[in-house]
Structure 1
Amino acid sequence: MTPAGGRRSKIRPPRKSLISSSHSDANSTDPTIDFDKNWAILQNAISQIQNKNVSNLSYEQLYRKAYVLVIRKFGEKLYGKVSEAVTEHLLSERQKLLALSTNAEGFIQALTRQWDEHLQSMKFIEDVLMYLNRVYVKEQKRLEISDLGVHLFKENIIMYNNNEIGSLMDSIILDEIRKSRNGVVVTSNIYTAKVIGMMEQLTEHGTSADIQYGESYYQTIFEPLYLSSSDLYFQELSKSFLASNSGSKYLQSVTRFIKDEEIRLKNLPVATHAKLTSLMDNILIKDKVDSIIQSPVEGLDHWFKPVLSNAMRDGGHDNYHFQDLKLLFNLVGRIDDEYQILRSRLKDTIISQGNMIPELIKNSLESSEKKPSSMNAASFATKWIDYVLKYKSQMMEVWKQSFDQDLSVEQTLTLAMRDFINNNNSKRGNVVNAPELLSVYMDYNIKQIGKGSVTAGVSGQAGDELNNLIEDSLQILKFVKDKDAFEAYYANHFARRFLNSKTRGASQSKGLDIEEMVLSKLCEEMGNTSLDKVIKMSKDIKISTDTTKAWKKHLSKPNGSTAENLIDLDLKICNVTVWPNALTKDYKNFESGGSEFVWPRQLRETIREFEEFWSAGKKNDNKSLHWSPKFGSVDMRISYPSRTYDINLSVFAAIIMLLFAPSLPLEGDEEVSAFSEKKQFSCKEIQQLTGIPEQELKRHLQSIAVAPKSRLLVKSPMSKDVNEHDTFRLNEKFKSPSTKVKVLTVSMASSSSSSSSSSSTSALAAKRKDEEADEVNSHIVEGRKIELNAAIVRILKSRRTVSHNELIEGVIRQLTNRFQPSIVSIKQRIEDLIEKEYLERDAEDRNLYHYIA
């Protein structure tokens, strides 16, 4: 046998003759003398093994001695003597360890060395007492010799004298761990790992009711101490991190510490990893993360500031906080894989920033150099859409860089944007009407694209602009909750674009192409049913185009004797039941007979001829035709002394100009020039001759007599306002750099600002605007009533009987993609349908409804 730590030779069983001899000895010798004699030899061998003097030992002889004692039923006594011998040795070694108690490193090294030597010696002793293990230990269910050695080491070294050595060992290991956590370079890591490994092997084999069988010293004593000390350490550490008042530094410090702590955890049992990680995450992250997120100095608002600031500027940018947000995301993920607290605070931050956008836009427009025009609805809507889309783009970049493209976080970002776009949680009073703003934005840009070059239709640059417009609009539309409201506003703007359009030929064709492309994409997104009215209006536009072609073809017939006296028409024919009532409600006020309005003699023949053309055949038998001068335009050729101009102006303005046309020559007389007649009319006279409503008249007079670039008439006295006694005559000195002149109609707001009766005019303009808004809102409300009724009836018709709560939930679920119905409105519709006998309440249960077939 070689010394401890060397290579051992294999122990072989005794020869048969040896076993026979042993049996013979056992039968002829006194048992007591035999045990003492044999034990003395074994005891000496055990002592030699413990002192590492094993080279002269005969394991065959020692095995025989132990074998004889077991055979002669001395197994219990032998087991006890071995235990006593090992105990005596361990107690002596314990004193040596205590002598090193003041030297922590030396103590730990000596303890681990003693442990290794004890395990080695117990292995040798177990080899000698192999037969004792095989027979006595197995029959009596006692600890095997090696396990006995571990138990004795625990009781006589570690736990002896009220855990004296163990407490010293625990405090040294905990102190080493604290030093490592504090950044001190610890050279005894290898010994620390060995000691912890020893603790795991020091298992409890007692039968005490309060100690689970098989639990180790590590589990019962050291781990609770370790977790308790770690708890205190983490608490102190978090306070020191918070003292910096910097959320960024806290995240960085915690992340770095956790990374180092996970390295230290490798020296500990796997079972401790989860416990310590949970403790560390709870104290450093869970208990502190919300206060860090909401920190007014460096919290989520601070980290998200560049998202808003970069979205609101055209050039340059603030530095993003990608790294801080990524650290935050990773830390929160350690305590909650659904990121609930982060998502909640993200939503609040985004809604708060989104609600600031309208105020920032207003400030930007107010500080603009173009103050008079910068605050109009189109400017605000365009900037709002632009900034919201930029803000979304900035957020998605943060999502990619910092949030690992987590789908739950993306959903939160989307819901937050939807909330502030629909302005449900505004705390600043910056209420925006997203459906209306989107419609205004689309209306403005469709007009701008339509004004571009018509040579390439909607291809090239115009095509790119249109595609961008559609893409941006659909992005915002996906966030809009009240899509029915958008449909109503879009229908109103769509109608205005057509009715107010002054384009002809290729320009008109391009405009129709643009409208069709936009409408097609909207139908793909929302469905044809949703845009039913706009689709019907679009059909009216096509009918108008076809009718115009048919009319021109009719005029080109050879037998059309009166064709040369007729005016060329580009028709806009609208079915008043489809088009917005706000635009068509007074369509009967401009009839030739019985009303104050008077069509000029130059137009009457054309009107009469077209009405005959309209009535010819049977396709229009069930349709009545009414003329409305409120919309459209007229192209007139007027010869001024300087040159002849082709002038495009509104119908009302054209009717005013026709008053100054030369009188019809009498038979045989020559035609007289309009300028030689020197016609002059007062505002009051013009109103009497034409029947144009007063406010419209003044507005159009300002357009053709006051506006600097389009003074077709001379006003006396010259001033911006128009009074009933002001006189007007043709402007002989009118000049324009181009032969083609387009007269822009003065807006109602501009007209009111320059009028002497500005308060009343402004009030009228505001009233008209309010009436139109009320008309649209009324349409929305009525439409919702119809949709609510239909949803309620559908549900009851399919189920026949349904409870109140189920009906409410079903209606909300069906209509949530159209608008957000309120509980009150649903209840009102239920009551209405009960009155109309579509459904009834159950006689016994008032919360139960039945469908009435």
Structure 2
Amino acid sequence: MLPTVRRSSRIRPPRRSLVSSFVGASGTGATGGADNANVVDYDKSWAILSSAIKQIQNKNVSNLSYEQLYRKAYVLVLRKFGAKLYENVSELIKNHLLQRREILLKENSGLESPEDFLKAILLEWTEHLQSMKFISDVLMYLNRVYVKEHKRLLIYDLGIQLFKENVVKYNDDEVGKKLIDISISEITKSRSGQVITTKMYISKVVNMLELLEESVHINDGHSSSGENFYLKHFEPQFIAYSVNFFRQLCHKYIADASLLGTTYLHEINDFIKEEETRLSTFLPMSTFPKIIDLMNNILIKDKIDDIMCLPEEQQGLSFWMGQPCEDLFQDENIATTATKSYHSEELVILYELVGRIDPERDLLKKRLKELVVKEGLAIPVAIKEQLDSSSSGKKTSTSSAPFALSMISKILKYQQNLSLVLKECFANDFGLEQGVTIAMRDFINNASNKNKKQIGQDKANVTIPSSAELLSIYMDHYIKSFTKSNSSKVGATTTSKDSDLSVDEFMERSISFLRYIKDKDAFEAHYAAHFAKRFLNAKANGASIEIGSGKVDVEELILSKLGEEMGSSSLEKVLKMNRDIKSSRDMTVDWKKHNNTNGLQGNIELELKICNVADWPKSLSKDYTKFSSENFTWPSQLRSTLNDFEEYWLTGKKNDNKSLYWSPRFGSIDLRITYPSKLYEINLSPYAGIIMLLFAPQSSNDDGSPVSAFEEMRELKYEEIRELTKIPEADLKRQLQSIAVAPRSRLLIKTPMGKEVNEGDVFKLNSNFKAPSMKVKILTVSATSSGSTGPLSSKNGGGRKKTAQEEELEEVNANISESRNFEINAAIVRIMKSRQTLDHNELISELIRQLTNRFLPSTIQIKRQIEDLIQKEYLKRDDENRSLYHYVA
């Protein structure tokens, strides 16, 4: 064996005496014979060196003298034979490699196993590198002097190039093509699921091909790498084969008529993981990202959208997300508890796969948003069907409290389900969370428009209320329930009468739903209308609940929570109404003190509710002048007390600039009536109470004591009641139906008995009236039940007559529209005042930005208000540029 010498060691030339003696021994005597001596010296020296190189190539180096061989090469280079020596060494190595190639192909021509061929070529490559290392050590001085000066390849690098040219690429890349075909074939088998035994050999072959440089540049004696055999020949073929394989693999699943999205998802995900492991084992990192990109584009990017859009029976995204509508109705007792019905494993895989082609996951966000909107719009339909079926075929109004309660509870439960999916399957991805929030906001705010034809197709007038109105109905129901529950045990977790919902839970859900509503101003308008009704129809001026060590007014608590969410300025109208409520409470206390002081205390007690007409909804206050003495007749039993309060109202002239009107449309009356069975305290509407007072006894006994009403038993015809009270006919019929037709509240007897109240009907007290408790509350029948929706109205072109609720809703919507016009005008003036001059598009953009937290104004509405302000001379158009506005100071 030749001793190995590190390439970094310093080469010291032999002493001159040794060189002289070596040259002299070759027969050189005089100077003139130097040329002849040199020729003889080279041939002999080359014979020794070539013989040694052959022995190194044949792995027979035990008898070689490294020092002698090195000296011979040194002297040849020193005597200017470097070029000849370099060429001879190159030719010798070339011939040896050609011989080895023939032997290699001959020995492996009959072998069927690709493993044996790869093993043989790798063995030849390893032995060649080892021999080149020894040869390079012998010719070290040739590398340092001749190679560096003439910018040739180092002997070791020359050996690699010769191996490429005379083994791998020789005869039109015969061996190279065979290596590529075998390697790609083995990798393809592995991709197909077959077990191969050539893994180690393939990676070594790839490493070998990477060392075979296609173009080499010499700089300062060092070779610089260009494109290698692997990059030029192996990688392009492998990529082409990979493209075909990925397409075939994809077609294998897509062509299947019974394709299931779940199957495709799992198969592709498993293949991708195996492929990444396979590539990291066989191929260099330069190829890895190229194949991964190809694989991602063909298997995921080109097909994942089709897979997600598969119908539910073929298991697409809708299947993986579960059955939201069905799940929402599984447990009615847990209104907003999230249920895990989705396929988490598939969703996690989907999230990871989509992330490989799009880190932002815009495609998944888009499809998820579409699915959420579609499923969300189906929720109202399912709720309507469920409520209709549970009410024995009776149609449930979408404006009713049951619909609003179920709608909001189900939507919030659906939102929790989606949050659970985002957390467990989508890694709380912020982008997807935003997409879901936008989708929730879209279907919540657009359900009333898009479901007009889905709900109540047999009745064109059945539509879903706006989300703002639904939330107001929802909150109104629970606030009333909390108020009713006030008489029971209360505390920090005070619950409603109708459910186990506490005040805190109720507010949390209400605020959560409120955040999805785009038109906050519409919610305020509806909330103000319900707020006014609660106050005007409540028996008392207010109710409080115990929280901690003190009492808190329910309405005050909720207003404070809404103020924190929306800003107190947004609830200005409701806050003004609330100030009227507080003022009414103080007025009631003062009035009672006044009665006690002046001895005016009688049988009638007033619980005052005084409202400033300008601050209360027009839908409730628009007809207040109709109840003057000319249009409405108050009973004599009440007239005296009302007159007393009117005098007190002007006492001290503190209210002399305010007109006072009494409205029997709101509030309630408590009557104490002694029936033959027992005494009842009956709470009923003012209209109904006024009708009942008509049946009070009008005569007295001989001793002056009053006659019992049941002894007198007055009978009044419908026409007489109408004339005595002057109650509007529609309201009168409803009230008479409530107290004379409804089975459980027949305070009066109607003759003839029937559902409808008609001309000529006679009414009298029902002496057989009985109720389970002493306190009785008479509810007013709905306008629909009373039949007021049946007749056709000539005023609206022969269409259905509008109910009081529909008219009230129209008033609220009209107020919303009017209020928006004011807000748009104020915002335009505010913007123009600060800018003075502004382009039309810039004005609209700034206007939308300022108003978006309140509502989203339409372009038509904005243009209309701009024209209005131009007419009012707040703005003017530029004389030359008509799209430019100037503020008029």
TM-score class normalised by the smaller sequence: over 0.9
Given the alignment of the two structures, is residue 304 of structure 1 paired with residue 317 of structure 2, yes or no?
no
In structure 2, C-alpha distance between the alignment counterparts of 1:293 and 1:603, rounded to whole Å: 71
CA distance in 1, matches of 2:248, 2:25: 72
Alpha-carbon contact 2:681-2:776 (below 8 Å) kept: yes
Counterpart secondary structure, 2:226: coil
2:163 equivalent to 1:161: no
8 Å CA contact 1:351, 1:416 repeated in 2: yes
8 Å CA contact retained: 1:653, 1:700: yes
Among 814, 823, 826, the residue aligned to 1:790:
826
CA contact (8 A) 2:783 2:803 kept: no
Q: Provide the C-alpha distance between the structure 1 equivalents of 2:652 and 2:22, rounded to a whole number of angstroms.
A: 138
1:278 aligns with one of 274, 293, 313 = 293
Indicate if the aligned counterparts of 2:688 and 2:736 stay in contact, CA closer than 8 A: yes
Question: Shift in Å at residue 25 of structure 1?
Answer: 6.0
Q: Kindly state the Cα deviation for residue 12 of structure 1 after the two structures are TM-superposed.
A: 7.6
Taking the aligned partners of 2:420 and 2:305, their CA distance within structure 1 comes to 24
Residue from 702, 709, 712 that aligns with 2:737: 702
2:373 counterpart (339, 351, 359): 351
Which residue of structure 2 lines up, in the alignment, with residue 657 of structure 1?
692
Which residue of the partner structure matches residue 338 of structure 1? 360
Assess if the C-alpha contact under 8 Å between 1:126 and 1:145 holds in 2: yes
Among residues 35, 40, 45, which one is paired with 1:33 in the alignment? 40
1:401/1:507 CA distance change after superposition, 3 Å: closer
Q: Does 1:388 align with 2:411?
A: yes
- Aligned-residue offset at 1:417: 0.7
Trace 1:485-634 onto structure 2 (pairs within 5 A).
485-503=522-540, 513-557=553-597, 560-561=598-599, 563-565=600-602, 567-592=604-629, 594-595=630-631, 597-634=632-669
User: Over residues 60-83 of structure 1, what are the superposed CA-to-partner deviations in whole Å (9 max), with x where a residue is unaligned?
Assistant: 000011011101111000000000
Asked whether 1:76 is paired with 2:83, we answer yes
1:448 matched to 2:470? The reply is no
Shift of 1:545: 0.7
1 CA distance for matches of 2:858 and 2:636? 56
Deviation of residue 312 (structure 1)?
Answer: 3.3
Deviation, structure 1 residue 155: 0.4
Q: Is the 8 A contact 2:543 2:554 kept in 1?
A: no
Matched residue, 2:221: none
Q: Is the 8 A contact 2:827 2:847 kept in 1?
A: yes
Q: Of the candidates 772, 781, 787, which is equivalent to residue 808 of structure 2?
A: 772
TM-superposed CA distance for 1:307, in Å, is: 3.2
Query: Cα distance, 1:570 vs. partner?
Result: 0.4
Q: What secondary structure does 2:634 align onto? A: coil
Partner amino acid, structure 2, of 1:232:
N
Structure with the largest fraction of helix? 1
Give deviations 1:375-406, integer Å, cap 9, x for gaps: 45212111111111111111111111211111
Change (3 A) 1:667 1:575: farther
Deviation for aligned residue 1:472: 1.1
CA distance in structure 2 between the partners assigned to 1:9 and 1:392 by the alignment: 71
Q: Establish whether residue 96 from structure 1 lines up as the match of residue 103 from structure 2.
A: yes
Q: For the Cα contact (< 8 Å) 1:487–1:531, is it kept in 2? A: yes
The corresponding residue for 2:436 is 413
One-letter code aligned to 1:384: M
C-alpha deviation, 1:507, in angstroms: 7.7
Given that 2:246 and 2:299 are in contact with CA atoms closer than 8 Å, whether structure 1 keeps it comes out as yes
Q: How far apart, in 2, do the equivalents of 1:427 and 1:532 lie?
A: 33
Larger mean Cα displacement after TM superposition, 824-833 or 58-67: 824-833
CA distance in 1, matches of 2:752, 2:452: 49
CA–CA distance in structure 2, aligned partners of residues 740 and 292 of structure 1:
65
Q: CA deviation at 1:694?
A: 1.5
CA–CA separation in structure 1 for the residues paired with 2:309 and 2:8: 70
> Residue type of the partner of 1:553?
K
Q: Distance in 1 between matches of 2:483 and 2:708?
A: 38
Of the three residues 817, 821, 840, the one matched with 1:781 is 817
Give the match for residue 246 of structure 1.
260
Q: CA deviation at 1:457?
A: 5.0
- 1:446 maps to amino acid: I
Residue identity opposite 2:293 in structure 1: S
Secondary structure of the 1:134 match is helix
CA contact (8 A) 1:748 1:765 kept: no
The equivalent residue for 1:120 is 130
Question: What's the CA shift string for 1:565-622, capped at 9, x where partnerless?
Answer: 3521101111111111111111111112x33x21111111111111111111233232
Q: Quote the residue 1:18 is aligned against.
A: 18
State which of 172, 176, 182 in structure 1 corresponds to 2:186: 176
Does the aligned pair in 1 maintain the 2:680–2:775 contact within 8 Å?
yes
Which whole-Å CA distance do the structure 2 matches of 1:675 and 1:448 have between them? 37
**TM-score (normalised: structure 1):** 0.94
Q: Distance in 1 between matches of 2:350 and 2:545?
A: 56
RMSD: 2.8
Q: For residues 451-484 of structure 1, give each alpha carbon's deviation from its aligned partner in whole angstroms, at most 9, with x where no partner exists.
A: 2242445644327522222111111111111111
Give the C-alpha shift of residue 137 in structure 1: 0.2
Letter in 2 for 1:217: F
- Comparing 481-490 with 460-469, which one deviates more in the overlay? 460-469
- Supply the distance in 1 between the matched residues of 2:868 and 2:25 (Cα, whole angstroms): 114
Match of 1:257 in 2: 271
Q: Tell me, in whole angstroms, the C-alpha distance in 1 between the residues paired with 2:799 and 2:11.
A: 118
Q: CA deviation at 1:638?
A: 1.4
TM-score by length of 2: 0.90
Please give the secondary structure, in 1, of the residue aligned with 2:683. Answer: strand
Aligned equivalents of 2:580, 2:353: Cα separation in 1: 61
**Contact 2:783 2:804 (C-alpha < 8 Å) held by counterparts:** no
CA distance in 1, matches of 2:518, 2:252: 47
What letter matches 2:474 in structure 1?
Y
Partner of 1:747: 782
Counterpart contact for 1:576–1:584, Cα < 8 Å? yes
CA distance in 2, matches of 1:746, 1:508: 30
Question: Which residue of 2 is the match for residue 818 of structure 1?
Answer: 854
Query: In structure 1, what is the equivalent of residue 388 of structure 2?
Result: 366
Cα distance, 1:506–1:77 mapped onto 2, change above 3 Å: closer
Alpha-carbon deviation of 1:322? 0.9
Instruction: Name which of 336, 340, 351 aligns with 1:329.
Output: 351
Letter of the 2:46 counterpart = W
After TM superposition, give the deviation of residue 831 of structure 1 in Å. 1.6
SS at match of 2:515: helix
Give the length in aligned residue pairs. 842
Read off the aligned partner of 1:444 and give its amino acid letter.
H
Structure 1: how far apart are the matches of 2:451 and 2:802? 28
CA contact (8 A) 2:545 2:554 kept: no
Structure 2 Cα separation of the partners of residues 619 and 419 of structure 1: 51
Q: For residues 787 and 505 of structure 1, what CA distance do their matches in structure 2 show?
A: 32
Work out the CA distance in 1 between the residues paired with 2:479 and 2:38: 117
Say whether the 8 Å CA contact 2:328–2:413 is kept in structure 1: yes
Counterpart in 1 of 2:885? 849
Measure how far apart 1:623 and its partner are: 1.3
> Post-superposition shift, 1:373?
7.1
Secondary structure of residue in 2 paired with 1:422:
helix
Give the secondary structure class of the aligned counterpart of 1:479. coil
Q: Which residue of structure 1 aligns with residue 330 of structure 2?
A: 313
Please give the per-residue CA displacement for 1:673-692, whole angstroms capped at 9, x wherever unaligned: 22222321111111111111
TM-fit CA distance, 1:205: 2.8
Offset of 1:788 from its aligned partner? 1.2
Query: Which sections of structure 2, spanning at least 5 residues, go unmatched?
Result: 219-223, 455-462
Q: Structure 1: state its 5+ residue gaps.
A: none
Against the structure 1 CA distance between its residues 365 and 63, is the aligned structure 2 distance closer, same or farther, given a 3 Å change threshold? same
Which residue of the partner structure matches residue 230 of structure 2? Answer: 218
Give me the whole-angstrom Cα distance separating, in 2, the residues matched to 1:645 and 1:502. 17
Structure 1 residues 306 and 556: alpha-carbon distance in aligned structure 2, compared to 1, 3 A threshold: same
The partner residue of 1:269 within 281, 284, 292 is 284
Which residue type is aligned with residue 717 of structure 2?
Answer: S
Q: In 1, Cα distance between the equivalents of 2:277 and 2:384?
A: 55
Give how far 1:39 is off: 0.6
